[in-house]
Structure 1
Amino acid sequence: MSVLILALVAGAVVGLALGGLGGGGSVLAVPALIYLLGFTPVAATTASLIIVTLTSISSLAAHARDGNVRWRPGLLFAAAGIGPAMLGGLVAGHIPATALTIAFSVTAALAAWRMLRPSRPAQDPVQGSPVQDGPVQGSPAQDRPVRPPRAAGSGAGLGAVTGVLGVGGGFLAVPALVGVLGLRMKTAVGTSLLVIVINSLAALATRTSTADSLDWAVIAPFTAAAILGAWDGKRLAAKISGNRLQHVFAYVLLAVAAFMLLDSLI
């Protein structure tokens, strides 16, 4: 199979994950770039940030039009991660490739485990009743009030992961936005894309020295396919339950994590 076809197929899958789940694209992009397209771990993490940033911007616009982006908590969450993301980007270039791969696989496995855990509905802060998605409750006003210290702490941790591992962090941002900030799943998915864009741009700012070695003939079609796939992912998410999508993606993540860990240790 030619490199172009592999890039297009991998990009489409990454886009489906970002559009449908609001994250997870980079967790698939990095291993695809390494094992299918021949990138080094450092180059793959940098390329992944570029691909995921551009794809997330496109998908963010669609979610924003539907009113599924909470801008204030999203910006607060992302702003706390800018410094750690830039610091992590500087550190990443000094980490051995094997250690970087192992850290990436462990992070992917933890994310999969988190997705497979039974989800608990967000509780209304006054009545204590579950907040459900629906045609009326679909507005952002139904999300719980955001506590700035909790948002800042979670955002800083996510930024550090983004900078070191070259992942947008959506697969960690969505659970944090739901569990820590109290957003509903639908708005958490849309808001996570805003967080991904800001954190990824911050991490990329410290990785300019690695851009010269990137194969743009692969990155360009990969990104184009991912952008188109993100639109399909958003439509797919409207037809299939969020839990089912998460479980399927979690099992894929586990398989990817196991393969990368075994490959780095053997």
Structure 2
Amino acid sequence: MDIMQILGYLGALLIGVVLGLIGGGGSILTVPVLVYLLFINPVTATAYSLFVVGVSSLVGALQNIKKKLVDFKTAIVFAIPAFIAVYTTRKYLVPAIPDEIFTIGSFLVTKDIAIMVFFAIIMLLASISMIRGKCAHCNDENAKVVYNYPLIIIEGLVVGVLTGIVGAGGGFLIIPALVIMAKLPMKKAVATSLLIIAIKSLIGFIGDVENLDIDWSFLLKFTALSVIGIFVGIYLNKFIKGEKLKKAFGWFVLIMGIYIILKETVL
């Protein structure tokens, strides 16, 4: 095992730790770890990411169900359009993207470059959401839950398509949507988002099983390390303030997003 593989497996552990600590954001690291440390091509990496994110989020969601933090009604309304969109995107849209998309001068934009740049843009949006992170009623545990069904369904479809293309969980999009559109308090929004992420990521991955050769031995090892990381993160959560950590992680994701754009287009 070389140094890059060791770093890749440590990255798997870190993904879980971040998920356990701040309830989201870890999945944004999965694709860069798989692509840049373990040299897996971006299309396969986004598929593997869906499985890792799905299983890791399911573990977190089960913990939250025990604590009665999950709002099942909101989860179902959001998850149904989301998993239809993510499955359709993985099964039909991603395979339909041509290997060579267009040329700018002498620079050829390939499918792999396009996916990584699009992923980096999503990272930049996620980082801004994590750095800013202000909300008036987020911590009001007694706030009345309001169901704006059309908006929740539209948001579910949008998040499903984005998840399908980049392989990230989309928690940074789901949590604000649940807080703003369903008026869920932050703790419930984070808990409910993990269940939604788990359902749509695993169903999206099913769309890949028919299109790709899956290295199950590697994928299960990588996922197991992420799950161990979640329990480490949940334990550390008792000692570290999640909100401060979220901002610091947001800055890290911002730098990573800029690095990926530069690496794929300039370097």
The TM-score range, normalised by the shorter chain, is 0.7 to 0.9
Secondary structure, in 3 states, of the residue corresponding to 2:237? helix
In 2, the alpha carbon distance for the partners of 1:209 and 1:178 equals 36
On the 8 A contact 1:17/1:233 being kept in 2, the answer is yes
Q: Which residue of 2 aligns with 1:104?
A: 119
Q: Which residue of 1 aligns with 2:104?
A: none
Using the TM superposition, name which of 82-91 and 157-166 deviates more: 82-91
Deviation at 1:104, TM superposition (A): 0.3
In 1, the alpha carbon distance for the partners of 2:93 and 2:133 equals 35
Secondary structure, in 3 states, of the residue corresponding to 1:93? helix
On the 8 A contact 1:4/1:218 being kept in 2, the answer is no
CA deviations 1:98-128 (Å, max 9, x no partner) are 1111100001101111222250221xxxxxx
In 2, the alpha carbon distance for the partners of 1:226 and 1:205 equals 20
Deviation at 1:22, TM superposition (A): 2.6
Matches within 5 A, 1:1-266: 1-2=2-3, 5-89=6-90, 90-95=92-97, 96-122=111-137, 132=139, 137=141, 142-212=143-213, 214-266=214-266
Q: Indicate the RMSD between aligned Cα atoms, in angstroms.
A: 1.9
Summarize the Cα distance change of 1:217–1:237 in structure 2 as closer, same or farther, 3 Å threshold: same
TM value normalised by structure 2 = 0.86
On the 8 A contact 1:81/1:158 being kept in 2, the answer is yes
CA deviations 1:235-264 (Å, max 9, x no partner) are 333443332122022112112111111111
On the 8 A contact 2:129/2:172 being kept in 1, the answer is no
TM value normalised by structure 1 = 0.87
In 1, the alpha carbon distance for the partners of 2:17 and 2:147 equals 29
- AA paired with 1:91? L
Deviation at 1:190, TM superposition (A): 0.9
Summarize the Cα distance change of 1:225–1:46 in structure 2 as closer, same or farther, 3 Å threshold: same
In 1, the alpha carbon distance for the partners of 2:93 and 2:67 equals 38
> How many percent of aligned residue pairs carry the same amino acid?
31
- AA paired with 2:158? G
Unaligned stretches of 5+ residues in structure 1: 123-130
Secondary structure, in 3 states, of the residue corresponding to 1:206? helix
On the 8 A contact 1:82/1:199 being kept in 2, the answer is yes
Using the TM superposition, name which of 218-227 and 47-56 deviates more: 218-227
Query: What is the number of equivalent residue pairs in this alignment?
Result: 251
On the 8 A contact 1:70/1:187 being kept in 2, the answer is yes
Summarize the Cα distance change of 1:261–1:144 in structure 2 as closer, same or farther, 3 Å threshold: same
On the 8 A contact 1:46/1:210 being kept in 2, the answer is no
- AA paired with 1:256? M
Secondary structure, in 3 states, of the residue corresponding to 1:144? coil
- AA paired with 1:94? A
On the 8 A contact 1:100/1:165 being kept in 2, the answer is yes
